[in-house]
């Protein structure tokens, strides 16, 4: 659902009045960062968010004119759904001499609503074998001053997925190649004959499987809210979650049950 007109302003006003926590994602040094901020005011198409005190020790590196992604949970209809939008940094405010403590964002023309069921993990249907290509990009210095861009590539199997994250099983021998917080590029085809999906995610956990032959990478999608292209990917992820859920339900319904013997 997309909310246009005066609804974005009214929703953000309610967010300010209720002090709803906000998650802001932004790109810095070719890597997506995530920070929690608090809304402090909205006026004249300006939406002001305050940086949490504990984050000031690690400056939020955004620039005027930069696009950032915003998401928050708020009651709308039945339950608490997630609202997302991209916003442009319009400026900064400071109440002390110690630097910026608030970011001014332009009020968006539209806000998108993602229903909470899309953030519930669903297993990949047993009829599918979804392979995932993983890519890590980093930079290394050569003999001189030149810096080379290096790519590492792996291949795994999709275990489950939601609009916010996924699990991918990889060979246990590759465990040392990954670490928490690492950014990965992903490419996979969720359904046969569809076009591949490509986006970035961050490693949140690395857990061994029961047989110790594989490990599961717990990944979180980041930065999709910040651009129209990313929000289209998020919409497609929501459709995939629904497809997998329906396929799993159909599969369960098709499993025959053993008839109980009648009493003599």
CA angle 179, 226, 197 (to 5 degrees): 65
Question: 210's torsion region: left (phi>0), alpha (psi -120 to 50) or beta?
Answer: alpha
| pLDDT > 90? residue 244 | yes
| pLDDT > 60? residue 226 | yes
Q: How far apart are CA 39 and CA 20, in angstroms?
A: 7
Task: Tell me the pTM.
Answer: 0.81
**What local confidence, expressed as pLDDT, does residue 30 receive?**
79
Mean pLDDT of 163-183: 92
Mean pLDDT of the chain: 84
Q: Which two tokens stand for residue 117?
A: 């069921």
Confidence at 263, pLDDT banded by 50, 70, 90: very low
CA distances from 23 to 1, 83, 85, 120 (A): 20, 11, 11, 19
What burial letters (b/e) apply to 144-177, b meaning 16+ CB within 10 Å?
A: eeeeeeeeeebebbbbbbbbbbbbbbbeeebeee
| pLDDT > 70? residue 95 | no
Mean pLDDT of 117-143: 84
Mean pLDDT of 13-35: 90
**What local confidence, expressed as pLDDT, does residue 259 receive?**
46
């Amino acid at each position: 659902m997309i909310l246009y007109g005066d609804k974005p302003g009214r929703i953000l006003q309610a967010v300010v009045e209720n002090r709803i926590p906000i998650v802001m994602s932004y790109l810095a040094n070719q890597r997506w960062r995530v920070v929690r901020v608090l809304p402090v005011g909205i006026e004249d198409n300006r939406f002001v968010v305050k940086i949490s005190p504990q984050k000031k020790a690690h400056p939020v590196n955004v620039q005027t004119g930069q696009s950032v992604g915003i998401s928050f949970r708020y009651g709308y209809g039945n339950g608490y759904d997630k609202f997302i939008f991209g916003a442009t940094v319009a400026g900064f405010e400071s109440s002390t001499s110690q630097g910026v403590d608030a970011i001014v964002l332009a009020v968006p023309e539209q806000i998108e609503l993602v229903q909470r069921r899309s953030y519930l993990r669903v297993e990949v249907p047993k009829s599918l074998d979804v392979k995932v290509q993983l890519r890590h990009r980093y930079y290394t210095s050569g003999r001189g001053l030149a810096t080379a861009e290096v790519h590492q590539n792996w291949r795994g199997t999709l275990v489950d997925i939601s609009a916010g994250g996924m699990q991918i099983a990889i060979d246990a021998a590759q465990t040392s190649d990954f670490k928490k917080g690492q950014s990965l590029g992903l490419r996979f085809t969720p359904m046969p004959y569809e076009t591949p999906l490509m986006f970035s995610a961050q490693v949140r956990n690395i857990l061994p499987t029961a047989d110790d032959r594989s490990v599961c990478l717990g990944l979180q999608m980041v930065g999709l809210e910040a651009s129209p292209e990313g929000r289209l990917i998020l919409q497609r992820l929501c459709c995939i979650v629904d497809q997998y859920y329906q396929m799993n339900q159909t599969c369960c319904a098709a499993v025959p049950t053993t008839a109980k013997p009648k009493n003599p």
